[in-house]
Amino acid sequence: MARSQSHDFAYLPSDIFWMILVYLGAEDIVRCRRVSRAWHAALTNPAILIPFLKREFPWTTEVKKLNSSSGSANQDSALELFDRVASRCHSLERGKPRSVQTIQLCNNFGSTGDLEWYQVQPWDSHSSQKKILVDRQFPEAFWTVEDNLLVYPSAVHQCLVLRDLETDRQFMVPFIITGKVIRRVRLAKRLLVIEWAEPKAFHWLNDSDGVHRHFASSFDISKNATNGWNIAPRNEWKIMFLGHPLSDRDRFFSSHNNTHYVIYIWQPNRSLYTADEDAPIESLFVWDISKESSYRPSLDPTGQLRDPDTPDDSPHIVSRFSFRDLEFFGVRQRGCPRIQRLSITDDSRAIEISESVTGHQAVPALPLSPSLMSVTTSIPLAGHGPHWQRECEGEIPPYRGSFGLNPEIIGHDGMIPIPLYEMLAHVSTGDVSFCLEFDPFLRSADEVFRLTIQTPRSRCTDDHHVDFAGRGKLAGCERYLVGENSNRELIIYRFDR
């Protein structure tokens, strides 16, 4: 070996080489490749890069796959993997995306000037708030994300679009928006559910409140042979027998898994004789939506097109809960709701209702908490079995409407140490967490939104953040973050490219 090479970093004994490597970060590795051909060869060697990745970034998806696989990577794949992971982690640690995508969303009014998008309005008061009145209301977003699939109303195409966030390929949802008022869009368990109403009322409750028929349409999302996505209609059902007004006082919230759909209805009592602000009309229904059906109740208002001799595979109600049933199970909401989350268990055996209460509100059989606490009640989906009430396994930020009744339950392990009352949205995927926060005690004109990104090695906060302030909602993972600004634009932060 030449004398000049004997003192070269690339030619050091392996134990000394690794002792030096401990003090280098991923950025240093990339820079040091430029020193010489020998350094480049040493620092692109899979025998160096793979152990370095496992030591520095064990929390990333790629490294977890490496740990679970027994195969070895060649030089090209190891180099590509190292550069991809190191670049993404560098962006996360700085809190700066590598690129930003902006997508214009549909306006509330379509090309014909008719109302086409009108979400269910949030509650004005909620027990999770310290002063009962909701300090900052956010209407539900019309976009939804699950497993790297994003569904949103595209202003360019004037329809719902499914975008694969891995490949950026787009697929049109075969759902006609014209002649409908969309109330909610949700993707869960690879099933897309769109709740919508007829634009014209079919009868009137009073001079100002007309009742509109409401329906839900579902679509199966599945991967095809070309690595794309098939979006196939499954069924349609009328979600409320008597309809529902398009008003800011009448509310309904829902959730679903792949086989069942649950809807909670909350309406003010309009009776001239028994009206009571603390006794709204409440009910809860569970539908079986597991089977494919070509019957469309929206095309058959009278039900005359249904063939009595044909097996009926269309969605049907399997459980009904009146306000008395909800009272019995301890989940009737009355005039000041406590409910934060509504869901169906994966085995479709129980409905889970999570409620947030402040410390001054006693909850039977549970210890009194000095601050905000969440309680989950499980109700059997069918039959008359006992219900189960326990403290929620995690935290739920105060209700502000942005997630409807489908917020993320924040596990204590991945939770960013921020006061719960300041959180608008919190997304945690493995060891990476994102939190959108604000000061609830400032006036609207002085509002300052902050975005905090936390990894196992870093935590950074960006003040005066406006990109995700439009709906107070976040969705994403270590590769991307999705939100909406106040200009009806979908913002996608890309940390991977």
pLDDT one digit per residue (tens) for the chain, 497 residues? 444 555 566 677 878 888 888 888 888 888 888 888 888 888 888 888 888 899 889 989 888 888 777 656 666 788 899 999 999 999 999 999 999 999 999 998 877 778 899 999 999 999 888 778 888 889 999 999 999 999 999 999 999 999 999 999 999 999 999 999 999 999 999 999 999 999 999 888 888 889 999 999 999 999 999 989 999 999 999 998 888 999 989 999 999 999 999 999 999 988 766 667 778 999 999 999 999 999 999 998 877 777 666 667 899 999 999 999 999 999 999 989 999 999 999 999 999 999 987 654 444 444 433 467 889 999 998 777 788 999 888 889 899 999 999 998 887 776 778 888 889 999 988 789 999 998 777 766 567 889 999 999 899 998 877 889 899 999 999 999 999 999 999 999 999 98
Which pair of tokens denotes residue 416?
């960013």
Report the helix count and the strand count for the chain, using DSSP H and E.
8, 27
Check residue 22 and give left, alpha or beta (phi > 0: left; psi -120 to 50: alpha).
Answer: alpha
Domain boundaries, the chain: 3-94, 100-406
What single-letter DSSP state applies at residue 109? B
- Per-residue model confidence (pLDDT) at position 269: 86
Where is 52: in which H helix or E strand? Answer: helix 46-56
pLDDT computed for residue 362 by the predictor: 43
User: Any idea which architecture 3-94 has in CATH?
Assistant: Up-down Bundle (1.20)
**Spatial CB neighbours of 32, under 8 Å, sequence gap ≥ 6:** 9, 24, 39, 43
Q: Which residues, in sequence order, are CB contacts of 294 under 8 Å at separation 6+?
A: none
**Cβ proximity of 211 and 198 under 8 Å:** no
The radius of gyration of the chain from alpha carbons, rounded to an integer in Å, stands at 26
Evaluate whether 371 touches 393 at the Cβ level (below 8 Å): no
pTM here is 0.90
Q: What is the pLDDT of residue 363?
A: 45
Q: What is the helix (H) or strand (E) element at residue 423, kind and residue range?
A: strand 423-429
Confidence at residue 74, expressed as pLDDT on a 0 to 100 scale:
64
Whole-angstrom distance, CA of residue 261 vs CA of residue 285: 8
DSSP 35: S
Q: Decide: 46 and 74 in contact? Cβ < 8 Å.
A: yes
Residues with Cβ within 8 Å of residue 67, at least 6 apart in sequence? 54, 58
For the beta sheet containing 159-164, the strands, ordered from the edge strand earlier in sequence to the opposite edge, are 144-146, 149-154, 159-164, 170-172
At 273 the pLDDT is 66
Residue 436 near residue 424 (C-beta atoms within 8 A)? yes
pLDDT of residue 1: 46
